[in-house]
Structure 1
């Protein structure tokens, strides 16, 4: 039953229910309804707070009603145990818009999405249980439960709104809206015991559940803090990126492509230029599920002869149309996903709050969204230049040195690789020397680096051939030589695959994480184990930094990097402390860090890496057009 308090007498009954629920010590479902997903946007509103158990839910209409806000805040702070689905979102909403502190609600909250992910991180379309509340409940709670989401979407359409915009415009008293709100609190209360029982039966450790919730809270604090945006840089940047997108679209139009986002036009034009669209290692072009020729990023990068970091490969003559399409699409994406997001998505204090998904992907690796900062090329400063430290602070970055390769060496107990690491050798050069002798070339080193990362990321010989431009036979010889050199890795990979097959296609990591494999991709076992473990190393470092009081300096965890800022006079010291907290001995392999302190923007760190002699990036702020021209020239 869904109950909606309207009068003072209704609130008295609600408070009595809360007191009884608190006295029982039972887990209580909680949820919020808001105007959208941009929790920190200027005009964002919290509309309802719903609290319930497996039978009943109370929907408190807190928007514009102080008495309801106070009742909801009191209830959340009084109840001893709460369960949310995707808790980070609701906890930050309640912290910001209901003044229910994250520090008080977080430690007593369970996230049913975390529990679901720890059993099976795969979405339903990949064969998993799914991670959405409705999907999980339809499977495990009540398959006949009403699908109020579809009903609510129909209401949105009836008032002229979309699935995204309807949340802010629907009448707060609409019965479908109130039923939808209340049902989530009931469903999550019913779902959690099912998920917890499944997790126990699978043998997933309780300590891992606690670990993930602790990581979630640290990441929520970073998300709440956000980063300052240089609006004077961002506003013209959007225009310049849009101009760049139009410029390259104009280049594409010379080949008959009127829209770079029309795959059929692009494929037709490329075929007319004599391209076969056949990637190295394939016998025919790849096609989409609908049968159309694929001209995705991988195909275009091969034709344009560039790698994922936009560097020339040297394997073929670049196709000018593929190059134009790639560059137009990149500039357009950057303008919208980064420029507009940072221009229009700031809060009242001029900050953006990228969403940190602490438990994401099939390997549990984190992701950043709104904007997706982890997708930026590793060597590019253009977007990073827009994000600033606190006034009087300097930005710093601390990342691990080849963490995936070191984790792989430790997990496989690969003696030759461990010795090279302990001696401080350049691992890829060391490998090239072992395989090709002391006169190895830079190409040999690049090839050995690719093979090594192929072991980590699951790329095969064909993929490596495409990425490096090396002939497939040469790549296969390098892979075979790599396996002979590092026999421990080959044995480890074989053992993981054997154990996974014996255990129902499941890989177990050192922390007890359960990672389901696809039956036709058992070879990915090593990739899953290494990526997941490297992620857990970073997460443990985040918890260690929280214990040391360093979290207040942090902005974001990105891949194997922690970004933060500190007052100018102590920035070097803080960066070293963060580096010390991140460093550790992992099964006999040192995981070293590389602290670096920059200037007055995140981009300053990358300007130095790009070879500029400017340690402080104030010149770039004063000359944005010249800075952008320099970046285009470098690209």
Structure 2
């Protein structure tokens, strides 16, 4: 990991001035600050080992904080004259040595540092901030971002922050909001000091949470102070919070720190100020480069350019579209007021048909003095003509969903989607437009946040600026289509171009339909569950406090650690930099040590269910007049090929716990319909039999016997098989996920030796399985990839991996073959079932996919007939060496489905 060192320039100079003796030359000119600065530069290579270096400076004049609070820093005394004499010289030296230095009007050095840190972390660099300014403690992130005290020559990490202030760096902004800062005239909450603030923050973490629980915040005096200075607290937080958007883009390569003697170009200056030690350090030794050997970086000029054209009348728009030849490739993109395609509106659309130019059609810009735009009706008419061409997009699911939902446009079968193409080429890589532009063309796209101000949307962007931004998206998509297609052809991946055309692109419309349908929620059930969970949490809180003998914030891991391992004296507590670890594994290991542990685990489960599922789902249901919840499916969200779901994620609602099932019971069928689940039975084990062609496995599946019982008989014999069926089940599934003896011993509660013996017996009983699984892993080492049933590839850079990564690749490669192939089968089934529903106008809707399971809403009187047809599709979607089998479950709620 490369390191970037950011120096808080003025902060360092001030610290240096006060830390060193008041040195002077023979004429009485002060040189202490300058000496400290030279000592730092000299020590950089030796003590820091940094790859990049940048000096951050405050700008002259007021900052945005003075606009928020005119009294900000109003009480600061003027710095000593000796210091102000040396400052301009030191800054001149920074420039003379060729170091990067950043300042921007209206911002402080701290904001510059925060912005550089953000860009550095995006590029996986470690950040070292040379400063003693406590405001910057909010940036500390162990192992990734540390502060460095150049006088004491030590790093300041999370532990140091907690030791000094009593709070974690991630809570530091809210902590400062209460404490305030007299030196900067940040008011805070008067009367509450560091210890009082730390206690509040460790319990509640944010100001919002403090004021939401004000009656629990300490003594009546503390509560009164908090209420009295509430406005001051929130103002203070605005003042102390660092900005990370000072620059929209930064080329960190310009800050490279080279193996040179940077001091060599200051020899004349050192002689002038009689700095003898500095002179010695500045002399260039043999084989050492001096600062004059630095080659200034050449200015970056984009290798790719294009012309962006505004089509702001229907005449201009139709003229361009009508001239397009029938078979021309059209890259297409939309700009919208937000990301919800059911409710947000189109602001404009862009398209591109060549490498040289791209067009933008403004439709819904809304600001004072807005220029001419195309009428929405005329735009939709033109779009209908445009969509008859070969449409290419980047994440077309979004754009097409918008056109279908807002304008009732006829379904479009995409010609290509560059995001899906990039994902198929390397499913573990980043497939966003910005990342792909960098990867294929080293091109920097214009950032969205540079276009849209905070609190506004794209409709507020002036049309001239919007034209370049939007046209650039379409133009880059056009270029990427050619580049990715060429890469796929050169990499012998043309079969994936066919897979995309036959499977992935039709699947886009299947997902759009599912997203638009949503699933109904019974609000009354959720309200009841919310009330019950809240009451249970209140009861559990009292029980935990009573059992532990003290009152504390159960959700605070720090407080919980102290109670368990210091007050109750439980053994096995491992202290980390932020306190004792109290994760689930630790608590499970202590379950039989004290009755409070079981209650804490129960509390955590109830709280997670309430805050992660019940409350958010209820909130979403209330927004919809039909009380339906709408998720977004992500086609390219996993490396194995499985679908993922977000906003909300409906694929991870627990199914094994009673609480999880109670949440699922709130998902219901609409009136006159039933919910139907069709689930592939033991799909991954059937795929194992298919791929490995193991005779024993194939015989078991072809005869329809219980595969886990068959495995148990082979492993443990007829007499013990029934009792040890679950052991066999754990082994059957565990081996597909790279389970080793330790994991198996933990899961089954047996010794590692017994687990090893069971695994050895398994492979002896199913000999071709072992050969097949080892063959997958060998192919990763040789070929660097594995393939699924549809020959989708997952890349593993085994050759350049470290030991830990190689072990992970061995597990993931096996998992990908089976999980990825199962994903192929269900995707093929979904395409066919969706076509059946549409073509025959069946009274059935496909609502959700939960990995190997599909959930439908089917007309009550047609459930049996339609379910059988769907099962037939799923069981005959692909001819395996063993039969595919599905199980069907029917109910009024998701919770009733097995």
TM-score (norm 2): 0.57
For 1:423 and 1:602, the matched residues in 2 are separated by: 32
Q: Are 1:529 and 2:817 an aligned pair?
A: yes
The Cα of 1:177 is off from its aligned counterpart by 5.8
Which residue number corresponds to residue 310 of structure 1? none
| Equivalent in 883, 890, 897 of residue 590 of structure 1 | 883
Which residue number corresponds to residue 341 of structure 2? 39
For 2:465 and 2:749, the matched residues in 1 are separated by: 57
| Equivalent in 489, 495, 500 of residue 209 of structure 1 | 500
- Sort the Cα spacing of 1:286 and 1:176 in 2 relative to 1 into closer, same or farther, 3 A: farther
Which runs of structure 1 show a deviation greater than 6 angstroms over 4 or more consecutive aligned residues? 63-66, 290-293
For 1:271 and 1:245, the matched residues in 2 are separated by: 23
Which residue number corresponds to residue 724 of structure 2? 444
Which residue number corresponds to residue 133 of structure 1? 433
| Equivalent in 769, 773, 792 of residue 513 of structure 1 | 792
Equivalences for residues 407-422 of structure 1 within 5 A? 407-422=687-702
Which residue number corresponds to residue 378 of structure 2? 71
- Sort the Cα spacing of 1:444 and 1:345 in 2 relative to 1 into closer, same or farther, 3 A: same
- 1:262-318 deviations in whole A, cap 9, x for unaligned? 44444454444566669xxxxxx798xx887654455555555xxxxxxxxxxxx27
- Sort the Cα spacing of 1:190 and 1:413 in 2 relative to 1 into closer, same or farther, 3 A: same
User: Comparing 257-266 with 186-195, which one deviates more in the overlay?
Assistant: 257-266
- Sort the Cα spacing of 1:300 and 1:134 in 2 relative to 1 into closer, same or farther, 3 A: farther
Give the secondary-structure state (helix, strand or coil) at the position aligned to 2:679.
strand
- Sort the Cα spacing of 1:111 and 1:414 in 2 relative to 1 into closer, same or farther, 3 A: same
Which residue number corresponds to residue 182 of structure 2? none
User: Comparing 180-189 with 563-572, which one deviates more in the overlay?
Assistant: 180-189
Equivalences for residues 63-462 of structure 1 within 5 A? 68-79=375-386, 80-101=389-410, 103=411, 105=412, 107-122=413-428, 128=429, 130-143=430-443, 145-152=444-451, 155-156=453-454, 161=455, 166-167=456-457, 171-173=460-462, 179-204=468-493, 205=495, 206-210=497-501, 211-248=503-540, 255=548, 258-272=552-566, 295-300=582-587, 317=592, 323-346=598-621, 347-379=624-656, 380-440=660-720, 444-462=724-742
Indicate if the aligned counterparts of 1:32 and 1:49 stay in contact, CA closer than 8 A: yes
Aligned residues: 558
Q: Are 1:581 and 2:581 an aligned pair?
A: no
Indicate if the aligned counterparts of 2:395 and 2:419 stay in contact, CA closer than 8 A: yes
- 1:347-369 deviations in whole A, cap 9, x for unaligned? 34332222222343110111222
- Sort the Cα spacing of 1:442 and 1:262 in 2 relative to 1 into closer, same or farther, 3 A: farther
Indicate if the aligned counterparts of 1:400 and 1:561 stay in contact, CA closer than 8 A: yes
- Sort the Cα spacing of 1:249 and 1:360 in 2 relative to 1 into closer, same or farther, 3 A: farther
For 2:538 and 2:308, the matched residues in 1 are separated by: 53
For 1:592 and 1:339, the matched residues in 2 are separated by: 34
Which residue number corresponds to residue 828 of structure 2? 540
The Cα of 1:563 is off from its aligned counterpart by 0.7
Indicate if the aligned counterparts of 1:45 and 1:63 stay in contact, CA closer than 8 A: no
The Cα of 1:114 is off from its aligned counterpart by 0.9
Which residue number corresponds to residue 363 of structure 2? 61
User: Comparing 329-338 with 73-82, which one deviates more in the overlay?
Assistant: 329-338
Give the secondary-structure state (helix, strand or coil) at the position aligned to 1:549.
helix
For 1:323 and 1:88, the matched residues in 2 are separated by: 46
| Equivalent in 279, 299, 314 of residue 11 of structure 1 | 314
Indicate if the aligned counterparts of 2:365 and 2:462 stay in contact, CA closer than 8 A: no
Give the secondary-structure state (helix, strand or coil) at the position aligned to 2:651.
helix
The Cα of 1:432 is off from its aligned counterpart by 1.3
Indicate if the aligned counterparts of 1:246 and 1:328 stay in contact, CA closer than 8 A: no
Which residue number corresponds to residue 258 of structure 2? none
- 1:124-177 deviations in whole A, cap 9, x for unaligned? xxxx3x12111111221343x244134247x31xxxx4xxxx448x72438666
For 1:133 and 1:371, the matched residues in 2 are separated by: 24
For 2:437 and 2:543, the matched residues in 1 are separated by: 51
Identify unmatched segments of 5+ residues in structure 2: 1-306, 367-371, 799-805
The Cα of 1:92 is off from its aligned counterpart by 1.3
Give the secondary-structure state (helix, strand or coil) at the position aligned to 2:791.
coil
- Sort the Cα spacing of 1:327 and 1:416 in 2 relative to 1 into closer, same or farther, 3 A: same
Which residue number corresponds to residue 191 of structure 2? none
For 2:551 and 2:768, the matched residues in 1 are separated by: 51
- 1:21-79 deviations in whole A, cap 9, x for unaligned? 454612323233232x3333xx5444333333543230423368995322332333222
TM-score (norm 1): 0.80
The Cα of 1:444 is off from its aligned counterpart by 2.5
The alignment's C-alpha RMSD in Å is 3.1
Indicate if the aligned counterparts of 1:50 and 1:181 stay in contact, CA closer than 8 A: yes
- 1:496-522 deviations in whole A, cap 9, x for unaligned? 11122111x211223111111353133
Which residue number corresponds to residue 30 of structure 1? 333
For 1:19 and 1:260, the matched residues in 2 are separated by: 67
- 1:193-225 deviations in whole A, cap 9, x for unaligned? 212222222222122112111223222222222
Give the secondary-structure state (helix, strand or coil) at the position aligned to 2:375.
helix
- Sort the Cα spacing of 1:344 and 1:212 in 2 relative to 1 into closer, same or farther, 3 A: same
Give the secondary-structure state (helix, strand or coil) at the position aligned to 1:546.
helix
The Cα of 1:342 is off from its aligned counterpart by 3.0
- Sort the Cα spacing of 1:562 and 1:427 in 2 relative to 1 into closer, same or farther, 3 A: same
For 1:331 and 1:595, the matched residues in 2 are separated by: 30
The Cα of 1:249 is off from its aligned counterpart by 5.2
**Of the two, which has the highest radius of gyration?**
2
Indicate if the aligned counterparts of 1:73 and 1:99 stay in contact, CA closer than 8 A: no
